[in-house]
Amino acid sequence: MTSKRLPSGGLIDRGTTVRFNFDGRSFTGHPGDTLASALLANGVRLVGRSFKYHRPRGIMTAGPEEPNALVELREGARREPNTKATEIELHDGLVSASQNRWPSLAFDLMSINGFAGPAISAGFYYKTFMWPKSFWEKLYEPLIRRAAGLGRAASQPDPDHYEAMHAHCDVLVVGSGAAGLAAARAAGEAGARVIICERDFVPGGGLLLSPADAAWRGDMVNALEAMPNVEILTRTNVFGYYDHNLLGAVERVSDHKAEPDQHEVRQRYRTFRAKQVVLATGASERLIAFPGNDRPGAMMAGAALTYLRRFGVVPGRNAVVFTNNDSAYETALALAEAGSGKVTLVDVRSQSALAAAMTARGIDVRLASEVAYFDGKTALVRRRGGAGGDKFVADLLCPSGGWNPNVQLASQSGAKPRWEATLASHVPGESVQAERSAGATKGIFGIGAAAYDGARAGREAAAAAGFAKAQDFALPERGPAEQPIAPFWEVKASGKSFVDLQHDVTAEDIRLAHREGFSHVEHAKRYTTHGMATDQGKLGSLVGSAILAEARGEPVEAVGVPTHRPYTMPVAFGALAGHASGAHFQPVRRTALNDWHLRNGAVMQPTGAWLRPFFYPKPGETGWEPIFREARAVRSSVGICDVSTLGKIDVQGPDAAAFLDRLYINTFSTLAVGKCRYGVMLREDGIVFDDGTTSRLAEDHFLVTTTTGNAAPVLEHMEFHAQTVWPELDVQFCSVTDQWAQVAVAGPKSRETLAAAVDGLDLSNEVFPFMGVGEGKIAGVPVRLFRISFSGELAYEIAVPSGHAETVWEAILAAGKPFGIVPYGLEAMSLMRVEKGHAAGPELNGQTTAADLGMGRMMKKSGDVIGRVLAGRPGLADPGRPRLVGIRPVDTNKRLRGGAHIVREPGSGTSMGWVSSVTQSIEHACWIGLAMVENGEALKNQRVFAVSPLHDESVEVTITSPHHVDPENLRVRA
């Protein structure tokens, strides 16, 4: 236990103690701690095992770039894997556990992988597990699953709520360090509506590490809080920058509590549509590759400073700070001030004007030197590139390879990162969207300079958004210029030098990728998985690029870094889904008769967005029994069915008939008023789009019906052609699907039933024949009647204004009572439509032509029709194409399966087509089906086989007409 809490200092509340649990052990911390700082304060050094080699790992950073300290947070249904201890706000009762260790963190059998290291090099998964195939299931997969698991997700449903919130603002500021606060203040003073987002639970960023600037930070936060046009959002991580200045974020509303308060959401998904954006996301310190740079005790220099200054924790006793730039000098000083042990500063640069001041504070400064080895207890420091060197006792090793501006959001917005040699890193390139970067994000370091730049960015953003008023406010002093950085990426010494700690990618792996031809940075990334872990390579991405560049013999800027894509940090699915989960996934559409169905015991079934009655079981009925009973009632007497979900489009205008003639392959201009006709429409490529009946209500007034699923696409198709292709046609249309409920009354007794219910319309066959359309009244409600049939029986459909649906439905039930009328559901309807051989969804599958469905002759002889020309292409007109047929099993005890292939002989590998729809028949007392079969017409009455390899079934079937009942179509005309 070499790390410990200091008696004073930092932004923690020492007066309050909170208890938490890690790996079953109980610890204490203070409000203001993260889980990581509290673990360090308790001397916990080992927090996880690495992904591939199971090497022991400690806390490496103090932020979202953390590669090692991934923990399972909470228990039971709230267990969340792979959370970063550096990002978890400590709270009383917090329970956490380390991951990826077996059987325990301290004694991990899997670390033996470390000895087998060379076998698990880059490209290991691609190469090793290719052969032999039989080894996969028994050996490789179980091994990988045990060895390579990260944390475990909860196995129970998430008990928490999430919500979405969408905001507009003039200026969105991302980040609340010196630059972000100054930008928000400047824009706010100008009068702009400002939102400022901070990932952390305290605003301030780098200011939190500078006691000298604490007062200015406080003043700025107070001033912003007092401005009614400024909103400060803490615990809010902006994860993506999208088109037209839309940014996405997640606000962690109650993650800092053991569980959310009653009715409180856990996280809130937010979007911001901003006129102008200021990106003040700071910079991330980068790693140096050297042997042992992953050992517990290795901690980035900036992170060590954070633990000292913000959390009052000394992260080690004897420290070696290893740097190529000035920033780490502050860490060395702070360690010397706080610690009791020895502090050594190793700088790769041969000169440093700051060296004398360090020596005066007792710090051992080694210039032109490097760390060649670290094992957690000792560090080997030698002259750059030299041999030998001096061994230092060190339980803390703090590398600093320089700072990478956090250009991710700017890069996502379209601004290509630009190489900046003075930083040996990238800065945001020229803006594409209405955004500007400020402070360290732009490569401007130091609190005073960043604040000054932020104020400028905020003023400019406000002015661009139309708020030109400028108001000065106090800014911190700008410090002296730093000495130039010496670009430095890797210490060449034997041992594993990591560039990606979370995915265990070493410098040698990068060189291996290059040797094997994966030399492009995007290829090397995928081959080695460098930068693909949850930390997205924030520490070592550029180091990997530099090593690749050296292997390629090019400068690092020629290699670049992989493209930055959302998300900048892991985002929970729950936050993105918000309330749209379970029953709230999408709105449910209910017909006007829904309540009647529920009151009368219907089993309801979602079909698309609609909820429809499946069947109405009577007590004791099981399986197919209610379906058979309902269908038999229709075939022998009369049934009633809710068909309100049909799409209905009202079409009016002098050119309505001409328009429909172009839309459908058959003709509607010749349809008499008071009649309806079945129509088929094609897509322009010649494939069937939709079908349905269309009625002529007046010379210039039609009612089109569509299939339930195509109601919206058909309307858009009609609108596109009327508005853009034939604007000269005078025609208007409107969806009336919801305005009209529709019920089918079907069966040989349907006429007698309706005759007893309908006023004002003579239903006799002579006056109201098949395909007739008329108006009348039922129970005093005006209704439209259509003599059409889907079941193949004598049948009618009645359209009724939705608000009166139940009145009319009840009146028809009363009228049909003497005939034993029954309500029937979707299943009985489907059974009867397969018996009758009507094509439906499984046949209108986006691959079939009108000819394939036996409706080729419906195409009119002349005139412009959508799809006519391309339907004539040889491939679509080929008579050998699969055609709609019926099938029945030779052995009537055999079951048929939808999706089965039609073959000549069992075992044949040549498919002649497929079974599209099946049902048990009531007319034939066996399974029957519809199928699409090559040359189906010519194969009538022949025997073939329907095979379903999935079920290991092969059933001999006879090819028949698709019309399993009443092929002469006599019943519907009775």
Residue type, 268: R
Tell me the backbone φ, ψ of residue 268, rounded to 5 degrees: -125, 120
How many angstroms separate the Cα of 41 from the Cα of each of 7, 44, 59, 92, 375? 11, 8, 12, 16, 22
Reference 34, options 57, 50, 10, 55; nearest CA is: 10
Does 963 bind other proteins (CB under 8 A)? Our answer is: no
- Cα 245 → chain centroid: 20
Q: Does 133 bind other proteins (CB under 8 A)?
A: no
Cα–Cα distances in angstroms (integers) from residue 126 to residues 144, 517, 925, in the given order:
13, 14, 55
Q: Is 158 in the site for other proteins (CB under 8 A)?
A: no
DSSP letters of 845-869? SSS--TTTTT-GGGS-SSS--TTHH
Alpha helices in 239-392 (DSSP H): 301-309, 327-338, 355-360
Q: Which of 716, 766, 891, 952 binds other proteins (CB under 8 A)?
A: 716
Phi-psi region of 793 (alpha: psi -120 to 50; beta: other; left: phi over 0): beta
Q: Which is nearer to other proteins, 242 or 419 (CB)?
A: 242
With CB under 8 A as the contact rule, the residue among 243, 891, 952, 968 that binds other proteins is 243
Q: How many positions of this chain bind other proteins (CB under 8 A)?
A: 24
Residue 271 CB, nearest approach to other proteins (Å): 8
777 lines the binding site for other proteins (CB under 8 A): no
By CB under 8 A, tell whether 724 contacts other proteins: yes
Q: Is the dihedral of CA 871, 877, 881, 882 positive or negative?
A: positive
595 belongs to the binding site for other proteins (CB under 8 A): no
Are 731 and 656 contacting, i.e. CB atoms less than 8 angstroms apart? yes
Question: According to CB under 8 A, which one of 337, 719, 759, 905 is a site residue for other proteins?
Answer: 719
> Smaller CB distance to other proteins: residue 873 or 895?
873
Which residue is listed with tokens 């504070």?
A: 361
Shortest CB 536 distance to other proteins, Å: 23
From the CB of 68, what's the least distance to other proteins, in Å? 36
Q: Does 730 bind other proteins (CB under 8 A)?
A: no
Q: Does 466 bind other proteins (CB under 8 A)?
A: no
Three-state DSSP class for residue 522: helix
Contact residue for other proteins among 870, 926, 948, 963 (CB under 8 A): 870
CB nearer to other proteins: give 272 or 498: 272
Q: By C-beta, is 293 or 433 nearer to other proteins?
A: 433
Residue 146 or 584 having the CB closest to other proteins = 584
14, 78, 257, 273: which one binds other proteins (CB under 8 A): 273
Tokens of 903: 């073959």
Q: Does 260 engage in binding with other proteins (CB under 8 A)?
A: no
Residue with tokens 């309908």: 758
Binding region for other proteins (CB under 8 A) out of 494-502, 718-726, 758-766, 847-855: 718-726
Stretch touching other proteins by CB under 8 A, among 240-248, 521-529, 646-654, 911-919: 240-248
| Segment contacting other proteins by CB under 8 A, of 74-82, 796-804, 823-831, 857-865 | 857-865
Which position among 760, 818, 872, 879 is part of the footprint of other proteins (CB under 8 A)? 872
Is there binding between residue 567 and other proteins (CB under 8 A)? no
**Percent helix, strand and coil across the chain, each to the nearest 5:** 30, 30, 45
357 makes contact with other proteins (CB under 8 A):
no
Coil, helix or strand at residue 968: coil
- In terms of Cα–Cα distance, which of 101, 84, 89 is closest to 23? 101
Work out how close the CB of 443 gets to other proteins at its nearest, in angstroms, rounded to a whole number.
24
Distances (CA, A) of 441 to 271, 427, 689: 22, 7, 53
Q: Does residue 952 bind other proteins (CB under 8 A)?
A: no
Helices (H), 105-249: 124-128, 135, 141-147, 178-189, 214-226
Residue 156 contacts other proteins per CB under 8 A: no
Q: Which of 849, 850, 830 is nearest to 840 (CA)?
A: 830
Smallest separation (angstroms) from other proteins to the CB of 246: 5
Residue 239 vs 945, nearer CB to other proteins: 239
Closest approach of other proteins to the CB of residue 244, in Å: 5
Q: Which is nearer to other proteins, 666 or 742 (CB)?
A: 666
Q: How far is 364 from 344, CA to CA, in rounded Å?
A: 5
Query: Which residue among 165, 673, 725, 970 contacts other proteins (CB under 8 A)?
Result: 725
Residue labelled with tokens 């698991």: 149
Segment contacting other proteins by CB under 8 A, of 10-18, 90-98, 239-247, 832-840 = 239-247
Contact between 585 and other proteins per CB under 8 A: no
Query: Would you say 330 and 337 are in contact if contact means Cβ atoms under 8 Å apart?
Result: no
112 counts as binding other proteins under rule CB under 8 A: no
**Site map (CB under 8 A) of other proteins, residues 412-451, x = contact:** --x-----------------x-------------------
DSSP tag of 795: E
Q: How far apart are CA 271 and CA 277, in angstroms?
A: 13
The angle that helices 656-663 and 711-720 make with each other, rounded to 10 degrees, is 110
Per-residue string for binding with other proteins, 516-545, x by CB under 8 A? Answer: ------------------------------
- Give the list of residues 6+ apart from residue 895 with CB closer than 8 angstroms, or none: 889, 927, 953, 955
The residue written with tokens 């005139």 in the block is 863
Residues at the interface with other proteins (CB under 8 A): 242-244, 246, 273, 414, 432, 684-685, 716, 719-720, 723-725, 727, 863-865, 868-870, 872-873
